[in-house]
Amino acid sequence: MKFRTLAVLGLGISLPALMIIPGSGATATVDLPAQGGQRPKYVAGKYLDQKPAWRQCGDPELRTYCAKIIAPHDWWNPADRNDIELAVSKVAPVKGKPSRVVFGNPGGPGGAGLGMAPYLASQQPLAKDHLAVGFDPRGTGDSTNVTCAGSPGYSMDARDRDRPNLDLISEASSLVRPYCERQSRGLLPYVTTAQTVQDIDLIRRLLGYDKIDFVGYSGGTWMGAYYQTYFPEHVGRFVLDSNTDFTRPWLDTFTAQPQAFERRFREDFARWAARYDDQLGLGRTPRLVIRTYERLRADLKKQPAVEEFLDGSVKISYDQNTLDAIVTGDMYTKLDFYSLALDLAFFRDLAAAQRQGGPRAAQRKVDALPLARQQQLVERATRRPVGLAPFGLPTFGRPFAEDAENATFTAVTCNDTEWPQGREYGELLSARLGPHYPLLGWGMSENPCFYWNRPQFTAPTPTGAGLPTTLMVQSVHDPATNMSLAASAHSRYAGSRLITVTREGDHGIYGGVNKCVDKLVNTFLTTGRAPAADTTCQGEGIPAPPTHNLDGNNLDGTATGAPLHRIAGFTKAVSGYLP
């Protein structure tokens, strides 16, 4: 089979001067390149003349103000008057006028980002002199949405290599785009990083700053690098944390995930659980912990446990895919390890009760749990993973605007760069990676991008040439963005400095995970001084299981300091206040 390859333009292109057409919506009809190749030649005055109506969003103590602005449906087609809305948030210093502005993005791609403003403002060094800004990228959150509602999910077991099962995976993958396109009112082809960075620069202009600082996590590292590439003259101090390989196609980032998740599960979680086997009871060696998971997975595949929680108000089906999603979702932060250990022990006992006494015996086990523990199990089974989610990972429940985050994730990753087309590549990839990295490797064929008719455009490849220093942060056992990706991007990104965090695997480091990283990043953002060379920070270790509150209530990363969890909490607190 012949696969398509990515055609790109380097930074050698000449970026034309931006011509502003004043007035209320006046535009010029010109010949423009397809979206993404160069910056748009013209920006209509109606976008630049906007006066955002800021209103308080969330509790007053958050000091957060939000507004909606309009942006073009397609930045490269000024004749298209089908505008979209972008939700933006800001937090100003308590005293004085800020001299700098810092934007933030939590990744995804597709993660709603209004919470980035109060989150960045909570970092004390930034709070003194920076206007902190967050926004929901086009397609998601309180901005104009895309949706793929009703498209088939992956209920089949990716490990099953029978031809009928592979046919079902292929059919489900191929049906995603028609659902997305039919329901997204023509916006789907324009949910791309190339379009989104134009939105960011519009926000910059409306706020009145010549340069922006930026903190991007996970998929936000891709966004940050592309903003730098399109708008080098407006680049201030950029921090890219938990890195994609933004110098290569998205395919490279996702094919690196199975090894990284497997390493995190086996070398970090399983070793930790075995060390505390007397307390957790999952196995006295890492091999036995993995065996506990595999046996439980086989039991739930053979006989899923369908249980009612919270006096019958919520019903959850625990099968092998549910288990895999919970395990994978808890690899992002070590603060979720203890909750995962409790859940594995509970699911093991639940499956045993069902095997020995039938569904009623299993339900009695659920009914005996305190309501607080039931609520936690429901929340953990219906959450969306933070950061760069793997393709094929089942998601339960819905973010703020139906399935907008998932749909935006799919649109960006499938639209931005070329993917091999057809089922053969995905199945070969799955067969190659699955035996070595079973947690995610078998699911590599569960990917709609292999069936995606992407818009035909090329974007300039980020190279870092001519830019100020870019500070990159990466933990060595990051599950979602493999350490190899940061090393690869760093080797090709001129002027970048890499902070490597050893003995650490959290996805999202800056903001409470590592004191050494926080000091270096805060110094860079507030003074512009970056490390003179690549440097290393030592991880602070995985905390021991608590000796109290053993029902697991409020002991996961959501309730504590994991940066991406905190950002998601802030976003939830300030969303929904705009019409």
DSSP states of 188-240: GGG-SHHHHHHHHHHHHHHHT-S-EEEEEETHHHHHHHHHHHH-GGGEEEEEE
Residues 68 and 86 sit within 8 Å (Cβ to Cβ): yes
Residues whose CB falls within 8 Å of the CB of residue 527, separated by 6 or more in sequence, listed in order: none
Instruction: Evaluate whether 358 touches 426 at the Cβ level (below 8 Å).
Output: no
Task: Give the mean pLDDT of 474-488.
Answer: 98
Structure confidence at residue 354 (pLDDT): 93
Provide the pLDDT for residue 42. Answer: 82
Burial class (CB in 10 A: 0-12, 13-18, 19+), 384: buried
pLDDT at 393: 53
- Contact present, 217 and 241 (Cβ < 8 Å): yes
Confidence check: pLDDT of 334 > 80: yes
Residue 41 has pLDDT above 90, yes or no: no
Asked whether the predicted pLDDT for residue 27 surpasses 90, the reply is no
Model pLDDT, residue 235: 98
- Pick 56 or 15 by higher pLDDT: 56
**Residues 538-558, mean pLDDT to the nearest whole number:** 68
Please report the pLDDT score of residue 511 as a whole number: 96
Place of tokens 């506990």: 292
Residue 384 identity (one-letter amino acid): R
- pTM value is 0.91
Q: Residue 8 pLDDT more than 50? A: no
Q: Quick one: pLDDT at residue 458?
A: 87
Least reliable range by pLDDT among 1-5, 32-36, 518-522, 527-531: 1-5
In this prediction, residue 559 carries a pLDDT of 41
Phi, psi of 235 (to 5 degrees): -90, 125
For the packed helices 163-183 and 404-416, what is the interaxial angle rounded to 10 degrees?
100
| Distances in whole angstroms, Cα of residue 483 to Cα of each of 242, 444, 504, 532 | 8, 19, 11, 21
Highest mean pLDDT among 7-21, 71-85, 125-139, 377-391: 125-139
Q: What is the average pLDDT value for the chain, to the nearest integer?
A: 89
pLDDT at 79: 81
Q: Estimate to the nearest angstrom the gap between the alpha carbon of 271 and the chain centroid.
A: 27
Query: What pLDDT, on a 0 to 100 scale, did the predictor assign at position 80?
Result: 80
pLDDT of residue 550: 47
**Predicted confidence (pLDDT) at residue 242 exceeds the cutoff of 70:** yes
DSSP characters over 44-94: EHHHHT-----EE-S-GGG--EEEEEEE-S-TT-TT----EEEEEEEE--S
Mean pLDDT over 423-441 rounds to 97
One DSSP character per residue, 453-497 reads -------BPP--TTPPPEEEEEETT-SSS-HHHHHHHHHHSTTEE
Res. 32: pLDDT tops 50: no
SS3 306: strand
* Residue ranges of domains in the chain, CATH in brackets: 54-71+83-146+188-253+458-544+565-574 (3.40.50.1820), 163-184+391-451 (no CATH), 257-388 (no CATH)
Which of 69-73, 154-158, 299-303, 388-392 has the lowest average pLDDT? 388-392
Given a contact cutoff of 8 angstroms between Cβ atoms, the answer to whether 199 and 137 are in contact is: yes
Lowest mean pLDDT among 39-43, 187-191, 385-389: 385-389
Instruction: Give the tens place of pLDDT for each residue, 447-457.
Output: 999 999 999 88
- With pLDDT > 70 as the criterion, what percentage of the chain qualifies? 89
- Taking the alpha carbons of 202, 205, 211, 215 in that order, is the dihedral positive or negative? negative
Per the omega criterion (within 30 degrees of 0), is the bond before 109 cis? yes
Indicate the burial class of 572 (C-beta count within 10 angstroms; 0-12, 13-18, 19 or more): middle
Give mean pLDDT, residues 26-40: 50
pLDDT value of residue 386: 67
Mean pLDDT, range 94-119, rounded to an integer: 96
> Would you give the DSSP letter of residue 449?
G
Amino acid of residue 496 = S
Contact status, residue 263 vs residue 477, Cβ threshold 8 Å: yes
286-309 mean pLDDT: 96
Average pLDDT over residues 383-401: 55
* Model confidence band, residue 579 (pLDDT cutoffs 50, 70, 90): confident
Q: What is the reported pLDDT for 35?
A: 65
